[in-house]
Structure 1
Amino acid sequence: MSGPSHQGRLVVAALGLTQIIGYGTLYYSFSGLAASMARDFGWPPEWMFGAFSISLLAGGLVAPFVGNWIDRHGAGTVMAFGSICAAIALAACALAPGPIAFSAGLMAIELASTFVLYNAAFALLVQFDSGKAHRSITHLTLIAGFASTIFWPLTSALHERLSWQEVYFVFAAVHLLVCLPLHFWLARLSRNPKRVDHGATASQNIVEGSLPAERRQSAFVLMVAGIALLSFVDAAILIHMLPMLTALGLGGTSVLIGTLFGPAQVASRLLSMLSGNKIPALGLALISGLLVPISIAVLLGSTWIPGATAFAVIFGLGAGLASIVQGTLPLALFGSNGYGRRVGKATVVRLVTSSAAPFVFAFMMQHVGVEVTLAIFAGLGLLAVIFFAAIGRAMQRVLVQEPS
C-alpha cells in the first residue's frame, strides 16, 4: 500500500490541530478552572465535578444519534456544525448568571464535544480514505495526545490574567476562528461512502469487515464490552493516579511518577506508527488489555519508586493503544459502511461506564483498600482480554470453515 498523499497528510494535520483544541478547551481546561467556578457559584468543588460527570454522561447518550448523522451527512459537515455549537456553549457557560444555567451550559459543551472529538474525527478519516484510515487514526491520536500537555499550562497561564469567564470567551473565539474554517475545508474533502459513485473510486474507498454477517452481532457485543472495560479502568486509575500512589506510600514522588503517564501514552502511539501499523487492530486490543493487569501487578509487587515508575509507563502505553483501538477495531471487524453508527453505539457504553469509574474506584478504595481495589481492576483488564480473544477465536473459526 502506498504512503499517505500530501492531501492526506494535510487532513491528519488539520484534524490533529482541531483535536488538540477540542480536547484542550472542552475537556482538559475544566480541571484548571473548576475551583474558580465553584467559588463564584458558591458550590463545593465536588458538586462542580459532579456536574461535569453528568455532562459527560449526557454527551455519551447522544453519541448514537451523532453517529447516524455522520453516516448520513458526512463527518466534516457534522464537525463544522459542532464548532459553532462548541463556541455557543462555551459562551453560554461564561454568561451564566447562576449555577443552574451554568450546569446547562456545561452539558451543552459536552454535547457539542460529541460532534467534534475523536469519534467524529475517526469517521472523517474513514470517509476520506478508508483504505489508509488505520494508519491515519494512529497518526491523529499521536498528535492529539499532546492536548493535555499544551492546554493544562496554557489554561493556567490564561487564568492568571483573565477570569474563567474570559478564558471561556477566548476558547469560544478559537473554535470559530480556527476550528470552524478547518472543519468546513474538511467537509469538502470527506466523502460519505454511500454517496460515492460506483467503480474504482468506490471500491478503493470501502473497507470490508473481516467478520461474516452472521457473526457480527455477537462480535460487536464483545468488542463494545472489551472497549468499555478498558475505558472504565483507564478513567478510574488516571483520575485517581496521584491519591492512589500516595495511599501506597509514595508520598511526594507521586506527582513526578504520575507525569510519566502522558509521555508513555504518546510513545505507544508513536511506536505503533513507526511499526507501519503491522499489528492488526485486534492484536492492539489484546496488547492494550494485557498491559493493564501487568502494570498493576508490577505496582503491587513493588510499591517503591522503581515499581511505581514502571507501572506509570506500562499503564500509559496500554492507555495510548486503547485510544487507537477505539477507532481502528470497528473498522477492521465490520468495515467502513455504517462506521459512524457503530462507533456512536460503542461510545454510549464506553462513556456511561467511564463516567461512573471515578466514583466506583474512590468508593472501593475507601471500603476495601487500595490493594484490593487495584487487584479487582486488574481482573477487569483480564476480562477485556478474554472478550477480545473470543472475537479472535470466532475469526479463526471462519477461516477454518472457508473452503481452500
Structure 2
Amino acid sequence: MNEHPQLPGVFGIALLGVLQVLVWGGSFFLMAVMADPIIKDTGWASQWVYGALSLSILVSALLAPAVSRLIARQGGRAVLASSGAGVAIGLFLMAGATSLPLFLLAWAVIGVGMALGLYEALFACLGAVYGERASRAITGITLISGFATTICWPVVALIIEHIGWRSTCMAYGLMLLVVVAPLYLRLLPRGAVSSVRGKSATAVDVELDTRVYWLLTLIFALGAVIMTAMSVQLISLLQGQGYSLAAAIGLSALLGPSQVGSRVLQVFSGKRHPIWTTLISVGLVAIGLFVVTLAPVLTALGLLLYGAGNGLRAIVRGLLPLALMSPTQYVLLMGRMARPSLIGQAATPLVGGYLLHTVGAVGVLAGLSALALLNVLLVGTLLVLIKKTSD
C-alpha cells in the first residue's frame, strides 16, 4: 500500500458522508418512522418492536472491538464495503418476518451491519489509512451525515405510505446492496497502515495513559446516553412540560438545523486542538438542557443550544481520540471505547421510559442535566491532564 495515500477530495468526502446517511437511515434511524406501521400491521407490542432496535445496538456494541481488530489486521475497506450487505440482509429478513422471533433476528443481523459500517468503523479505517490527516475527512463526513434524519425520515415515510413497510424494507435493502460496496471499494485505498498490523490491544494499552482512555470512554458514553434519551423521548418530555403535541414536534424540528449549523461553523473554525471543541460541545449541551429544565418558556433557545452541542459531539468522537492517540492506538481502541456508549444507548430507551413514568418529565430532564454537567467536569479534567502532559 502507498505509505502516504492521498485523502479523498471534497467530492469523495461528500460521497462517504452520503454512504453514512444511507446506512444510518436503514438501521439506527429506521425505527422512528417504521415502528408505527409495523405495530399496526402485526399487532406486536410496541415495547418489543422498539426493543428490537435496542437489540441491534447491543449486538453492535458486542462486535465493536472485534471490528476494530479486523480493521487493524486487514484494513477497513472490505469491512465497510460489507456493511451495506449486512444491513440489507437484515432488512430482507424483516420484510419477510411473520413472527416476532424472526423480526428480532432481523434486527440482530442489522446490528452486525451497524458494527461494520457506522462511525466507529469508518473513523478507525480513516485513522489507520491517513493518521492525523483524517481529521478533515471526519469533519466533512459528519457534516454530510448530519442530514441523515432530514433526508431519510420523510423519504422512507413517503415510500411506506405508497408500498407498505415490508416492500420498503426490500427496496431499501436492494439500494444498499447496489450502492454501498461499490462506492466504498472505489473511495477507500487497499490495505492498512503497516504500523498497526501485528500490534495487540494489550501492547497498545501499555503505551496509552489509562486516565486518558477512561476519561474519553466516559465522556463519549455520557454523551451517547444523553443524545439517545433526547432522541427517543424529546416529544414526550416537552409534552410533560406543558406543550401540545404539535408544539413539541415543532420545537423538536429545531435540533436538525442547529446540529448541522454547528458542524458548518466547525469546518470554518480553523485549526485548534479538539479538546476545545469538546469543551464547547459538552458546555452547550449542559446549558441547553438546564434552560429547557429550568425555564420552559425558553425551550426553543435551550434546544438550539443543545442541538449545536450535540452536532459537535459526532465530530469530536472522531477527532479527539485521533489527537490524543497514535494511529495504532486509535484503530485498535476505537471499537473497545465505543462499547460502553453503545450499551448505554441500548439501555437508555428502557431506563428512560421507566424514569419518565416514575419521576416525570421534569425529573428526567433534571437527571439529563446532571449527566451533562458531569460531562463538563470530565472534559475539564481531561483538559487539565492534557496541559500537564504537554508542559
Q: Same fold, TM exceeding 0.5?
A: yes
Q: 2:266 aligns with which of 250, 264, 272?
A: 272
CA-CA distance at 1:31 after TM superposition: 2.1
CA-CA distance at 1:214 after TM superposition: 6.3
State the match for 2:193 in structure 1: 193
CA-CA distance at 1:166 after TM superposition: 1.0
1:125 touches 1:190 (CA, 8 Å); kept in 2? Answer: no
Q: 1:216 aligns with which of 203, 209, 231?
A: 209
CA-CA distance at 1:196 after TM superposition: 9.2
Out of 4-13 and 319-328, give the one that drifted further: 4-13
CA-CA distance at 1:97 after TM superposition: 3.3
The 3-state SS of whatever aligns with 2:378 is: helix
Segments of 4+ moved more than 4 angstroms:
212-215
TM-score by length of 2: 0.91
The 3-state SS of whatever aligns with 2:98 is: coil
Q: Against the structure 1 CA distance between its residues 215 and 86, is the aligned structure 2 distance closer, same or farther, given a 3 Å change threshold? A: closer
Q: Against the structure 1 CA distance between its residues 42 and 387, is the aligned structure 2 distance closer, same or farther, given a 3 Å change threshold? A: same
1:265 touches 1:321 (CA, 8 Å); kept in 2? Answer: yes
CA-CA distance at 1:257 after TM superposition: 0.8
Tell me, in whole angstroms, the C-alpha distance in 1 between the residues paired with 2:322 and 2:7. 23
Answer yes or no: is 1:345 the counterpart of 2:346: no
Q: Against the structure 1 CA distance between its residues 5 and 313, is the aligned structure 2 distance closer, same or farther, given a 3 Å change threshold? A: farther
CA-CA distance at 1:310 after TM superposition: 0.4
Deviation per CA, 1:63-109: give whole Å up to 9, x if none: 11111111111111101122222222221221223221121011101
Answer yes or no: is 1:294 the counterpart of 2:294: no
State the match for 1:105 in structure 2: 106
1:159 touches 1:167 (CA, 8 Å); kept in 2? Answer: yes
The 3-state SS of whatever aligns with 2:242 is: coil
State the match for 2:349 in structure 1: 358
Note the residue ranges of structure 1 that are not aligned, 5 or more in a row. Answer: 198-211
1:86 touches 1:112 (CA, 8 Å); kept in 2? Answer: yes
CA-CA distance at 1:191 after TM superposition: 4.6
One-letter code of the match for 2:210?
A: Q
Deviation per CA, 1:324-359: give whole Å up to 9, x if none: 111111111112113232110111100111222223
State the match for 1:9 in structure 2: 10
State the match for 1:200 in structure 2: none
State the match for 2:232 in structure 1: 239
Q: How does 1:67-82 map to 2 (within 5 A)?
A: 67-82=68-83
State the match for 2:120 in structure 1: 119
Aligned-residue Cα RMSD (Å) equals 2.2
State the match for 2:172 in structure 1: 171
TM-score by length of 1: 0.88
Q: Against the structure 1 CA distance between its residues 196 and 386, is the aligned structure 2 distance closer, same or farther, given a 3 Å change threshold? A: closer
CA-CA distance at 1:267 after TM superposition: 0.7
Note the residue ranges of structure 2 that are not aligned, 5 or more in a row. Answer: 198-204
One-letter code of the match for 2:126?
A: L
2:94 touches 2:166 (CA, 8 Å); kept in 1? Answer: yes
What percentage of aligned pairs have identical amino acids?
30
Q: How does 1:48-59 map to 2 (within 5 A)?
A: 48-59=49-60
State the match for 1:209 in structure 2: none
CA-CA distance at 1:186 after TM superposition: 2.9
One-letter code of the match for 1:273?
A: V
Out of 33-42 and 322-331, give the one that drifted further: 33-42
Q: 2:219 aligns with which of 226, 230, 234?
A: 226
CA-CA distance at 1:383 after TM superposition: 1.3
State the match for 1:154 in structure 2: 155
1:79 touches 1:183 (CA, 8 Å); kept in 2? Answer: yes
The 3-state SS of whatever aligns with 1:22 is: helix
Answer yes or no: is 1:386 the counterpart of 2:380: no
1:302 touches 1:308 (CA, 8 Å); kept in 2? Answer: yes
State the match for 1:367 in structure 2: 358
State the match for 1:18 in structure 2: 19
One-letter code of the match for 1:303?
A: P
